[in-house]
Amino acid sequence: MISDSIGDMLTIIRNGYAARLKSVKIPTSKMKSALAGVLKGEGYVVDYSNDERTLEVKLRYVAVPNSLAKQPVLTGIARVSKPGLRVYRDSGKMPRVFGGLGTVIVSTSKGLMTAKEAKKQNVGGELVCKVW
Low-confidence ranges of the chain (pLDDT < 70): 1-2
pLDDT score, position 64 = 87
Predicted pLDDT of residue 1: 52
10-to-82, 109, 111 alpha-carbon distances in Å: 12, 22, 19
Task: From residue 106, give the alpha-carbon distance in Å to each of 75, 101, 102.
Answer: 19, 16, 13
Number of other CB atoms surrounding residue 95 within 10 Å: 13
H or E segment and range at residue 111: strand 111-114
**How many other CB atoms sit within 10 Å of the CB of residue 64?**
10
- Tell me, what's the pLDDT at 103? 97
- Domains, the chain, in order of start with CATH, read 5-131 (3.30.1490.10)
